[in-house]
Structure 1
């Protein structure tokens, strides 16, 4: 069966710094039947020449150059040449998962829908975060349900990217030219033509917020005018199409109009004479509104005088805006106090009553790094195996307020540990400082750190962090630092004198996943998108080219990070087993993540490991290098030979006898603290 043609429209304007990354992820999709339309909107940098270079290498790429007319005009222009059954838009400073198109097309083919959406991941200076976590893997809704989500502006946004559309449902020149926030204006039109819409929970689109060129984030009179116009027009259009949503629509509009007014107040624009007509329009709109429709307490005490003065405008905004809200900050203090009180009571009831010997683990993660989650479960297993008579007590990174109660209970018979990982040093400053503060509460107790990687920048910040760390470690009276790599061990020996340091394996290597037996097929790529990423665009292109040569489209892109927080143990276990099963069904793992390598070893899956910013990959590799199905890349140009060698490996079985012996030794050392 022939794959449906998908037209991907990419407007291009002065993005030479980002364009190669964007096009790499589009060209190397695991879906071939693409028409890639690049619309150069009068760029004055090298963007057009980059487009032409790509089109000379890939016949699926069509380049069109026009006078600058703005994003709307460029998208409309691209639609005129689009021949695909489906349409997707990608902004040229963003990028997409290598699975995005194939997954969306699959949803179309398996469900009778007219539009497919996915979640997106915001990336800001190497910090990647899922915009919204939706519990259901696939949620199918009608047009009314989609309008409600758009009005709430939480799970669903009006961005035209992160979505795929049936071409025959998109009208000509759907984007209003000459206006910013064109997505907000176009979305009611696009949704009105859909009977059913499928919303995926996966983050498949990467939205760059650190490029400094975002129209959405830039405050100017033009942008505020266009936003005010867009939210009013789109809300009125939704009310016309779905009158039953009038209350939700008016509530959403009021909150957004208050936010627009806040933008005026926060900028100097409010003092610009040119802004007077806009200010008058917004004030008139806001005075006519019924504030009783807002959630929470209505500002009825202001009466008719609301928003007459700047002070009242600010207060109104702070009462009801979702961000920077004085009222909500006060309420949050009460909620936080109540939450902490309840947590203290539950913590005391669960852990601190009775005379059990306690094994405390500080800094356990509730965030979506599955590598750190695996470390946590491995620690639990270690304690159950070697210290069965101890009760495990866990304190999360956000739960430092529990330590005062815990400290009163700890005696010399108890043991305190810090979570394993790569969090000591300057890579993750907040976690590092939190863990140091935790340690200071237990200076006279038996304390150790599960196997860690140390990484301090060689700059003033790094030197200060190192000095602070050394000072804390020297205050510990019964203390052991376990490091999981030789670099960290040598560093601690030379730079953290006074800390007794012992080299041990990464504790996740002790796990024994239960995996489903199945025939292996294809490759899985576990590649970073965060601050530790070191793979260059050129090397990524080389890598993806070799993957295409060897596997065709039979490859997946995944990650060992979920990019969201507040996950509990059961959810983390489910996600770990889901990933382990994906890996175990693959012929090959290619990764630049430490725990991508570890998970490959645990599932007996051939693996090629790329170097990373931190020395931890090389260091942990030393513990498992006797397993000949794990290959550490030394030269990216030798990738073809490495893939062939990995695929030729048979009878893969993770040998860990030496690792088990080291953990036996680790338990003995802890007992002697």
Structure 2
């Protein structure tokens, strides 16, 4: 059996409505030298059956079935059997452009890079947007840029943590036993990417949008009922980045960067909780917001870094920040309602 150039790992759990779009986008890639490893994580719908139908038609497709153990275990299982020189990840309810792996592979080969990164399409409330980056484009970026700029970005923002808009070297993953931590439903990508980025010597960013992230209607709010997103924000704030990255920054600088991210993420979540929904009463959402406003980490950080955050923001941002500092739910409700009205 020939060794494929790219192994694509797709964890699958109850996505019968979307899995066909995903499979079609994979098997019609212009880059043909791939294997597609679908790891069925105990689906109870027709997801497995749909994959089996394609399995008969395309020899590049593999299907692994396991009991429901979560996306991290499913991805790790895929890594363990992947034979490709490069590894990629796709979520089973998303899809990709037909030339995505051609573009990523050719860039990886051209620049002899340890990782290639591209943009993503996202969809919120029926509107499409592109998540891009302000890194130099189409250029091999070396260890100095990685340590000075890329690692700062990893601490400061969350937009680099998806595993799905990247092409990884299998040797780096396997030689360093890099995997996804089981049991952490919200931030499994974070740890994987931190470990991987700590082992690279170069990376390339291409200003090309190849991955489509599907926001299933109501999925975000339904997941709020099952998961505590604020708990995840706190968990990210409490990450010991020195455990994963050989950082040159001082402890004070790291603390400032991650503290400002805590406040920005908290404010984003406040905006989200104030969006009207029949799935969660206003009183319940207000209670969740109060929990955030009175959290000791949030209170401590906003008092310590209030002025630097205030000086960076516009008038609206400053109003929101002041309301958070003063724990004013009423002002936050008015401001976020006004923002939604203006952005209709």
TM-score normalised to the size of structure 1?
Answer: 0.41
Post-superposition shift, 1:244? 1.5
Aligned counterparts, 1:308-323, within 5 A: 312-314=326-328
Aligned counterparts, 1:7-406, within 5 A: 7-124=7-124, 127-132=127-132, 137-141=137-141, 142=143, 143-144=146-147, 145-153=149-157, 156-170=159-173, 171-172=176-177, 174-180=179-185, 181-214=187-220, 218=224, 221-233=227-239, 235=241, 237=243, 241-244=246-249, 246=251, 249-259=254-264, 261-262=266-267, 263=269, 266=274, 268=284, 271=287, 283-289=295-301, 290-291=304-305, 294-297=308-311, 312-314=326-328, 324=336
Cα distance 1:169–1:285, how it changes in 2: closer, same or farther (>3 A)? same
- Give the conservation status (yes or no) of the 8 Å contact 1:121–1:131: yes
SS in 2 for 1:39: strand
- Give the conservation status (yes or no) of the 8 Å contact 2:120–2:211: yes
Larger Rg: 1
Gap regions ≥5 residues in structure 2: 275-281, 314-320
CA distance in structure 2 between the aligned counterparts of 1:162 and 1:127, rounded to whole angstroms: 20
SS in 1 for 2:75: helix
Post-superposition shift, 1:107? 1.1
- Give the conservation status (yes or no) of the 8 Å contact 2:123–2:129: yes
- Give the conservation status (yes or no) of the 8 Å contact 2:116–2:168: yes
Post-superposition shift, 1:187? 1.7
CA distance in structure 2 between the aligned counterparts of 1:288 and 1:244, rounded to whole angstroms: 22
CA distance in structure 2 between the aligned counterparts of 1:89 and 1:4, rounded to whole angstroms: 15
Post-superposition shift, 1:284? 2.5
Per mean C-alpha deviation after superposition, the further-off stretch among 14-23 and 138-147 is 138-147
CA distance in structure 2 between the aligned counterparts of 1:202 and 1:296, rounded to whole angstroms: 34
CA distance in structure 1 between the aligned counterparts of 2:133 and 2:23, rounded to whole angstroms: 27
CA distance in structure 2 between the aligned counterparts of 1:216 and 1:243, rounded to whole angstroms: 40
Post-superposition shift, 1:190? 1.2
- Give the conservation status (yes or no) of the 8 Å contact 2:292–2:298: no
Deviation readout 1:107-138 (Å, 9 max, x if unpaired): 11111311110011113465332222658541
SS in 1 for 2:326: helix
Cα distance 1:270–1:296, how it changes in 2: closer, same or farther (>3 A)? closer
Post-superposition shift, 1:243? 3.5
TM-score normalised to the size of structure 2?
Answer: 0.76
SS in 1 for 2:128: strand
Post-superposition shift, 1:224? 2.7
Post-superposition shift, 1:25? 0.8
Q: Which has the higher contact order (CA 8 A, sep 6+)?
A: 2
SS in 2 for 1:128: strand
- Give the conservation status (yes or no) of the 8 Å contact 2:4–2:35: no
Gap regions ≥5 residues in structure 1: 300-306, 334-429, 431-673
SS in 1 for 2:327: helix
Post-superposition shift, 1:195? 1.0
CA distance in structure 1 between the aligned counterparts of 2:324 and 2:133, rounded to whole angstroms: 37
Cα distance 1:187–1:136, how it changes in 2: closer, same or farther (>3 A)? closer
- Give the conservation status (yes or no) of the 8 Å contact 1:159–1:183: yes
CA distance in structure 1 between the aligned counterparts of 2:221 and 2:246, rounded to whole angstroms: 28
Cα distance 1:178–1:205, how it changes in 2: closer, same or farther (>3 A)? same
- Give the conservation status (yes or no) of the 8 Å contact 1:118–1:200: yes
- Give the conservation status (yes or no) of the 8 Å contact 2:11–2:38: yes
What RMSD, in angstroms, separates the aligned Cα atoms of the two structures?
3.7
Cα distance 1:183–1:26, how it changes in 2: closer, same or farther (>3 A)? same
Aligned counterparts, 1:436-451, within 5 A: none
Q: Give the count of matched residue pairs.
A: 309
- Give the conservation status (yes or no) of the 8 Å contact 1:76–1:174: yes
The answer for the alignment partner of 2:279 in structure 1 is: none
Deviation readout 1:141-199 (Å, 9 max, x if unpaired): 34322222333438x42111101100111143621111122112322111001111111
SS in 2 for 1:119: strand
